Amino acid sequence: MTAANIPAKKPKKKAGKELKKVLGLKEIVFLSAGAIIGSGIFMIPAIAAGMVGYSSLFLWIVMGLVAIMMSMVFAELTSMYEDSGGVYTYVKRAFGDKLGFVVGWVAWVISWITIAMLVAAAVSYMSHIIPLSDTAKIIVSIFVVALFTFVNLKGIKHGARLQMILTGASFLILLSFVDLGWDFINFSTMVFEPLGWEYFLMAAAILIEPYIGWQDVTFLAEETKNPRKVIPKGIILGTLIVASLYFLVTLTALGSVHILPGGLSDFVAADAPLAFLAGSYVHGAGFFLSLGAVIIILGCLNSWITASPRLPYAMSKESMLPDFFADTNDAGVPRKALLFQFFVTSIIIFSNIITGGYELFLKVLIPVSLLLYFLVIASLLILRKKDPKRKRYFRLPFTYILTFLLAALIFILLMQTEVDVFVKGAVLVLLGIPFYFLIKFQADKRFTAGFFDRFSWFWDKFFPIWYGNEELKKVMNYAGVKQGQTVLDFGSGSGLSTIAISKRVGPRGIVVATDISKSQLKKVKEKVEKKNITNAVLIKETELSPFEPETFDAFVSVSVLEHFVNPRRIIERLMTLLKKGGGFCFLSFGYSFGIPPPHFLKNRHAIHMLFKDLGYDVRVEGYKKYFTQCWFIYGKKK
């Protein structure tokens, strides 16, 4: 499928209303903290203690400092831009479209898996309170995600209010654990043993998990008042609060495990270590901490559900994803991105029961997240050199020292990843590459031209699967192509239409074939010469500038419209070149192999509205062929 190119600045898509700037510092702090605090704090203190004993407390201090430094990296980057793309925006501006897309894709996939794992953890804790079958767990999980999705569809303010309630409750629950256990702390029972590097790295790789989530609040830039000042403060404050709470909870737990009959061993072996320990503080406290765990996890879940859809929204506005995701409702919420997130997450939730757990997802998630953070750090350094004059409302202190330390730690942790896990993570990343090429092929004219220049032979062989003799005859008939006419074949490709039109118009007629690809036009030339056709003119054309108004009796255009973000300008130009009473026919493609088309090709109504707004009445005929929705759009110029 080929396209003609109009080299104009890509307009930003505006489907529905713009996002609304309603968030302030208070909401950002709660959303930032809420995105980080999750199920990890209830399990990982025991896991780390099982690896390095009481010395894990020092690791919590180290990783808390690492988390604060990482939050400052994000703070500087988000102080530079107001886009809702977050990590995608930073990496794209530093390294270009390709790597920007990969990071955006990875961050998007991370959000789906994180949401599914969080709701699974919440339902797992619920099942300790109220026994649930596997079927009931699926139903409850999907219901919870659906409920939070519904709340967030009402507007970002509603989602933020819910988040403040849940995150506030999370703070109170963790502080209550500290308050209950503080009187039981006995530092003399804590024996700190020297740490070997291998154990340090193993434990550090585990301890990074409770902090994953810095990137989430950066997706809310377009809905935050004065985001370049507010979000940096919110990220740092939120991380400081979380790191402090994590340290206090771990200190309380490790300092009081001596009250258990088996001490640290019992704590490490417990299924729900904090709840088990709280039950030893006060009778019944374990039950309430389990209930609190559900609330905390739901708070983290809501934060991810709230923020994550803004990433595909931002990518869609820049033609890096279908404009399907840029659609917003009256409340200024990217509704289709939010609903798509619910759909994919529901599939992952269901797959958990089929495959027997999230262990694989969790193993893959940590190294993939670390790779994302490594690229974010690199982006900060690149942008310092690439865009030094851009105003930054926060600057990372001791930049080169801190970024070196962070990058080195992340690199070392990545090196600890098992080979098979690393390969599976790489596959997760690579899954986005075909999607990238499909989107670029749909929206980027320069990319499309380059593709056809390299692979015109491939397209010449396979395009007839969708555009055969039957479709070719319909295109000419609907355009009213007759003998003796001058006809434009706009976006001629390898000449399937050109050859047929030249025969129909006869020696007294002319067919003008235009295309952006030299290789495609070379294919047309070879066919023309082989068939001794003398009434065909071939032009490598982008602006249609050589032609005067009302030059052509008819025009056809096959697989062109879908390559435009906004096709209005090219349609108007084509209509100007057409004589009054002249016929025209577009054959364009809608949904292809599940990939959404541009919004103006999603259905008959959208197509009619596009041409009606331009003052033209058209007929639309649709059909499906080999996983592709096809549209004949035709009429006459009045």
**Whether pLDDT at 195 is above 80:** no
pLDDT mean over 574-594: 91
Percent of the chain with pLDDT over 90: 38
Burial class for 605, CB neighbours closer than 10 Å (0-12, 13-18, 19+)? exposed
The answer to whether residue 555 is domain-embedded is yes
Task: Please tell me whether residues 138 and 101 are part of one structural domain.
Answer: yes
Count the domains in the chain. Answer: 2
Q: Which tokens belong to 186?
A: 């006995």
Task: Please tell me whether residues 95 and 49 are part of one structural domain.
Answer: yes
Task: Please tell me whether residues 486 and 430 are part of one structural domain.
Answer: no
Q: Which residues make Cβ contacts (< 8 Å) with residue 615, sequence separation at least 6?
A: none
**Domain extent at residue 592:** 468-636
Task: Please tell me whether residues 55 and 198 are part of one structural domain.
Answer: yes
Compute CA distances 143 → 126, 148, 308, whole Å. 14, 9, 19
pLDDT for residue 199: 64
Give the integer Cα–Cα distance in Å for 120 and 506: 69
Give the integer Cα–Cα distance in Å for 65 and 80: 23
Amino acid at 58: F
pLDDT for residue 4: 36
pLDDT for residue 2: 37
Instruction: Single out the residue in 424, 441, 458 at which a domain terminates.
Output: 441
**Whether pLDDT at 358 is above 50:** yes
Give the integer Cα–Cα distance in Å for 3 and 452: 9
Task: Please tell me whether residues 421 and 502 are part of one structural domain.
Answer: no
The answer to whether residue 305 is domain-embedded is yes
pLDDT for residue 178: 94
Structural contact between residues 28 and 214, judged by C-beta atoms closer than 8 angstroms:
no
pLDDT mean over 392-396: 93
More confident residue, 290 or 57: 57
Instruction: Single out the residue in 405, 424, 441 at which a domain terminates.
Output: 441
Structural contact between residues 50 and 265, judged by C-beta atoms closer than 8 angstroms:
no
Q: Which tokens belong to 20?
A: 């609304």
The answer to whether residue 450 is domain-embedded is no
Least confident of 295-304, 460-469, 608-617: 460-469
Q: Under the phi-then-psi rule, with left for phi > 0, alpha for psi from -120 to 50, and beta for the rest, what region is 225?
A: beta
Task: Please tell me whether residues 422 and 541 are part of one structural domain.
Answer: no
- Confidence category of residue 37, pLDDT binned at 50, 70, 90: confident
Q: Which tokens belong to 1?
A: 């499928």
* Mean pLDDT of the chain, nearest integer: 85
- Confidence category of residue 1, pLDDT binned at 50, 70, 90: very low
Task: Please tell me whether residues 428 and 475 are part of one structural domain.
Answer: no
The answer to whether residue 20 is domain-embedded is no
**Whether pLDDT at 454 is above 90:** no
Residue 586's φ and ψ, nearest 5 degrees, are: -105, 140
pLDDT for residue 5: 34
What's 199-245 look like in SS3?
HHHHHHHHHCHHHCCHHHHHHHHHHECCHHHHHHHHHHHHHHHHHHH
pLDDT mean over 267-288: 85
pLDDT for residue 379: 95
The answer to whether residue 447 is domain-embedded is no
Task: Please tell me whether residues 518 and 382 are part of one structural domain.
Answer: no
Task: Please tell me whether residues 363 and 491 are part of one structural domain.
Answer: no
Task: Please tell me whether residues 126 and 261 are part of one structural domain.
Answer: yes
CA 272 to chain CA mean position, Å: 34
Which CATH number goes with the domain that contains 513?
Answer: 3.40.50.150
pLDDT mean over 379-408: 93
The answer to whether residue 18 is domain-embedded is no
Give the integer Cα–Cα distance in Å for 571 and 564: 11
pLDDT for residue 127: 79
Instruction: Report strand pairing: 628-636 vs 619-625.
Output: antiparallel
User: Among 208, 210, 203, 207, which Cα is nearest to 371's?
Assistant: 208
pLDDT mean over 577-603: 88
Structural contact between residues 410 and 374, judged by C-beta atoms closer than 8 angstroms:
yes
Which CATH number goes with the domain that contains 214?
Answer: 1.20.1740.10
Q: Which tokens belong to 292?
A: 């609190």
CA quadruple 24, 28, 31, 37: dihedral positive or negative?
negative
CA quadruple 352, 355, 360, 365: dihedral positive or negative?
negative
Give the integer Cα–Cα distance in Å for 635 and 630: 17
| pTM for this predicted structure | 0.75
Task: Render pLDDT for 9-22 as a digit per residue (tens, 0 to 9).
Answer: 333 444 445 678 88
The answer to whether residue 459 is domain-embedded is no
pLDDT for residue 357: 52
More confident residue, 76 or 159: 76
Task: Render pLDDT for 485-543 as a digit per residue (tens, 0 to 9).
Answer: 999 999 998 888 999 999 999 999 999 999 888 888 888 999 899 999 999 999 887 65
pLDDT for residue 480: 95
Task: Please tell me whether residues 431 and 526 are part of one structural domain.
Answer: no
Question: Based on C-alpha coordinates, what's the Rg of the chain?
Answer: 30
The answer to whether residue 452 is domain-embedded is no
Task: Please tell me whether residues 389 and 280 are part of one structural domain.
Answer: yes
Give the integer Cα–Cα distance in Å for 227 and 80: 9
Residue carrying the six token digits 């499928």:
1
CB burial of 223-250 (b: ≥16 within 10 Å; e: otherwise) equals bbeebbebbbbbbbbbbbbbbebbebbb
CA 16 to chain CA mean position, Å: 20
Task: Render pLDDT for 169-187 as a digit per residue (tens, 0 to 9).
Answer: 889 999 999 999 999 999 8
